[in-house]
Amino acid sequence: MRVEIWSDIACPWCYVGKARFEKALRDFPHRDEVEVVHRSFELDPGRAKDDIQPVITMLTKKYGMSAAQAEAGEDNLGAQAAAEGLDYRTRGRDHGSTFDMHRLLHFAKEHDRQERLLDALYRANFAEERSVFGEDERLVELAVAAGLDADAARAVLADPEAYAAEVRADEREAAQLGANGVPFFVLDRTYGVSGAQPAEVFAQALTQAFGERAPLKIVEGGSTDGADGADACGPDGCAVPQH
């Protein structure tokens, strides 16, 4: 079974939701049969790379809330993250474009390092003091920590077209599936789970989706030589016509 997760590094609920989903997956009896694929979604598409501002300032401008309301929201998110064993800085974080991070994640996927890089980006953005926005070398350091080559990661970041099409394709697909926010989880293209749901909800979704997978339907037909059954190879060898 395949689970696709649309998310953004700037999304605190994606950070929390990933931990909750992974908790459910750890306890899922068929976890070894589940493939998890991470897909790109920008909460602020088109934002300029140098357009960086404090999170509290962004929240007050984008949602029209007061600074006190924004700070209360961050405190709540900090508590939610702590409940999942995650570190979360409620003050002093920046907000900016995540497009380059998504491009780098697609590069990491080709080298089987996507999960490690995603975790490193989340941790750096939400738990560490140094900003992840506006400085390519910061992203290169995180890529190296995830097991990627520094020069190769630097080359990706230096080329604005590298993996840009892959990011945009993920975002178009999210829109086609009806996702207008993240995190958004799609199980076998049959079930969708929106938001950072409790682990119990993810567990129920995994169980239901896995149990309802459609069995393979075999199209019966005759073999090329007119005998019953079809010519094929199996554990006992290959059927060879005797006439």
Q: In Å, how far from its chain's centre is CA 102?
A: 10
Instruction: List pLDDT tens digits, range 151-185.
Output: 999 999 999 999 999 999 999 999 999 998 999 99
Instruction: List pLDDT tens digits, range 115-150.
Output: 999 999 999 999 999 999 999 999 999 999 999 999
DSSP string, 89-142: --SS-EE---HHHHHHHHHHHHTT-HHHHHHHHHHHHHH-SS--SS-HHHHHHH
Return the pLDDT at 202.
98
Question: Partners of 37 in the beta sheet?
Answer: 4
| Residue 147 DSSP one-character state | T
Return the pLDDT at 224.
45
Q: Give the pair of three-digit tokens for residue 7.
A: 């998310």
Q: Tell me how far apart the alpha carbons of residues 36 and 114 are, in angstroms, rounded to a whole number.
A: 11
Return the pLDDT at 213.
79
pLDDT class of 214 with cuts at 50, 70, 90? low
Is the model's pLDDT at 20 over the cut of 80?
Answer: yes
Q: pTM for this structure?
A: 0.87
